[in-house]
C-alpha cells in the first residue's frame, strides 16, 4: 500500500490514530510545553499542536541540512538515501513505540515513523518517494531503490 498526503495531515493522523485522545491522563494540563492554548480546559489541543509542530520542525530542519549538500538533487536517489541515513540517527534512536507523539517525546522512532519522516523530507526536496506498508512493518521506496529505514540499508527496488 502506497500513501501520499501532506506532512501536516499525516502528522495529525499519526498522532490521533493511535489513541492520542487519552493524552489528558498522561500529561495533565501540558503547562510543561509553555504553549498558550486559546481553548481552555483542552489539554489535547496543546499537546496535539506541540507534537505536530515538532514533527514539522524536524522535517524542515533535515531538509535545510540536505539542501546545503550539492549532491542532493532530484534523481540522485542514492545520495539522498545515504545522507538522510546519516542525519536521522543523530536526532533519533531507533526503537519501538506505539504512537508518533511518544516517539518524538522520547527521541525514539520506529519503522513507520522513520518511513514517514523520510517520505516528507524526500517530497520537500522533490524526490519520487512513497511509503510501503508491510505486515507489521513499513519502509520507503525512493526512486528506483527500496530503503529500509530501521537499519539504514537500501537495494534496487526490483529486488523488493
22-41 residue pLDDT tens? 333 333 443 443 434 444 45
The total of structural domains in the chain comes to 1
List, in order, residues 6 or more apart from 139 with CB less than 8 Å away.
111, 115, 131, 132, 146, 147, 148, 149, 150
The answer on pLDDT for 4 being more than 60 is no
The domain in which residue 63 lies consists of 2-159
> In DSSP terms, which residues pair with 133 in a beta bridge?
138
CA 157/CA 68 separation, integer angstroms? 27
Please report the beta strands in 5-136, taking only residues with DSSP state E, as ranges in sequence order. Answer: 93-94, 108-109, 129-134
What cell was used for 12? 495529525
| Average pLDDT, rounded, for the chain | 76
The answer on pLDDT for 1 being more than 80 is no
CA 29/CA 26 separation, integer angstroms? 9
The answer on pLDDT for 138 being more than 70 is yes
Amino acid at each position: 500500500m502506497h500513501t501520499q498526503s501532506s506532512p501536516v495531515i499525516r502528522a495529525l493522523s499519526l498522532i490521533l490514530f493511535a489513541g492520542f485522545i487519552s493524552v489528558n491522563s498522561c500529561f495533565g494540563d501540558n503547562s510543561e510545553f509553555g504553549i498558550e492554548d486559546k481553548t481552555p480546559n483542552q489539554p489535547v489541543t496543546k499537546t496535539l499542536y506541540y507534537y505536530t509542530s515538532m514533527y514539522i520542525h524536524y522535517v524542515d530542519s533535515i531538509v535545510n541540512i540536505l539542501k546545503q549538500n550539492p549532491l542532493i538533487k532530484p534523481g540522485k536517489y542514492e545520495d539522498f538515501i545515504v545522507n538522510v541515513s546519516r542525519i536521522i540517527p543523530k536526532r533519533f534512536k531507533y526503537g519501538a513505540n506505539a504512537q508518533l507523539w511518544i516517539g518524538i517525546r522520547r527521541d525514539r522512532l520506529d519503522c513507520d515513523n522513520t518511513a514517514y519522516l523520510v517520505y516528507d523530507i524526500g517530497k520537500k526536496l522533490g524526490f519520487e518517494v512513497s511509503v510501503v506498508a508491510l505486515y507489521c512493518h513499513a519502509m520507503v521506496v525512493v526512486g528506483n531503490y527500496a530503503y529500509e529505514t530501521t537499519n539504514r540499508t537500501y537495494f534496487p527496488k526490483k529486488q523488493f
